[in-house]
Structure 1
Amino acid sequence: MKFFLQLLSFGLLATSVSAVPTVEERQSTRYSLTVSTKGNAVLNGQTLEVVNSVLGVYPGKQTAAQVYPVANPTKPGLFSLHTLPIGIVDHVLALQGSNGFFTLVDTVNPAGNTAVSNIDTFILKNGKVTQNIPGGWFAFPSSTGWSVNYYDGTSIVTQDYVAVDILYKKLSTY
């Protein structure tokens, strides 16, 4: 009986230890995202921020977007960009929209969310964030600042946009 109780307590301990979340290698390097453009001196060099789940450049002191890349297991060279803080609820950047016009958003628990697409299709190369779909990044003025969108040129949009690049810069490794 004593042996059984010891075995049972060891089994419970082993189960609880294995359930503790761990910080994996993929989460150890975080990056900031900034805008680079020759089309607007005010936007150039600004950090992307998250307001109401939309990434963009906003006046005031907003929360800067910090991301860590996770490699796409089925498509080499492509990544999903997860946002900090790391916790139970998974936040990931995604393109939301249709007809060739997508808004860059921070979405929660993307698995099974049909409103967002292109979650794990980001390319990180030479300091730039791009996509594996045709098009490019553009900043569009909004009532609260500038939203960042991915546009492939097939939709009709207002002509007040600015072509931008999104740059990633290593913040730290922890």
Structure 2
Amino acid sequence: MRFVANLLALALVVPSAWAAPVVERQDGLTLYQLQISSPGHAEIDGRWIAFDGSTLGLFVEDQPPVQVFTLESKKKGLVELHTYPIGIVDHALGLQGPPGLLTFVDLVNPRMGDPEDGTVKVWDTFRVSDGKLINEGQGEWCAFPLQTGGWVVKWYDGSRAIIANYMPVEIHMREVDKGNHNDLQN
């Protein structure tokens, strides 16, 4: 009976380990934090992107910046951004929402599950060019103000009308000092 219980416990752990990406040792990773650039807008320029639940943006409460590492995407010349520290369950940054205006989010096990009808979900279409993070295809990063304060980051491709106030921004990938993976920059 004990053998069956041990086998059952192993069966529950193995599939979740398969869901995580294959990565080298954690101390060999190059980690990045994501910084907003919006010259002329001092309230957001130079701030670090953080989580609020699964949404990424600039928030009123001090939260540690998101830390990510890159993995080569199956799509040639593109990368995936996976969160650090690495856990049993894979977390990748992605874009999700209605076509044309996608929210920058943390996706749990992004390869699993299909998005709801009419919803777009991508996580493997990022490119880093001159230290700037962009999504493949036409569009730009934008910051949308929240009523509670702070800003949500989205990718806008110009295909839909937007009546809300927003600000175009750039996202810079800043390498974290290799000796200080736990010493977050704010």
TM-score, length-scaled by structure 1: 0.81
Q: What amino acid maps onto 2:54 in structure 1?
A: S
- Cα RMSD of the aligned pairs, angstroms, is 2.2
Q: What amino acid maps onto 1:138 in structure 2?
A: C
How far apart, in 1, do the equivalents of 2:77 and 2:23 lie?
Answer: 22
TM-score, length-scaled by structure 2: 0.76
How far apart, in 2, do the equivalents of 1:170 and 1:25 lie?
Answer: 18
Q: Among the aligned pairs, what percent are the same residue?
A: 40
1:151-162 alignment runs, 5 A limit? 151-162=156-167
Runs of 4+ in 1 over 6 A off after TM superposition: none
For residues 123-162 of structure 1, what are the alpha-carbon distances to aligned partners after superposition, in whole Å with 9 as ceiling and x for unaligned? 0110100011210000000134100000011112124100
1:64-83 alignment runs, 5 A limit? 64-73=65-74, 75-83=75-83
Q: Which runs of 5+ in 1 are unaligned?
A: 1-18
Give the corresponding residue for 1:118.
122
Give the corresponding residue for 1:138.
142
1:1-174 alignment runs, 5 A limit? 23-24=23-24, 28-73=29-74, 75-115=75-115, 117-144=121-148, 145-173=150-178
SS in structure 1 opposite 2:113? coil
SS in structure 2 opposite 1:134? coil
- Does the CA-based 8 Å contact 1:39-1:162 persist in structure 2? no
Q: Which runs of 5+ in 2 are unaligned?
A: 1-16, 180-186
User: Across the two proteins, how many residue pairs are aligned to each other?
Assistant: 154
How far apart, in 2, do the equivalents of 1:63 and 1:90 lie?
Answer: 19
Q: What amino acid maps onto 1:125 in structure 2?
A: S
Structure of higher CA gyration radius: 1
Give the corresponding residue for 2:14.
none
Structure with the higher strand share, 1 or 2: 1
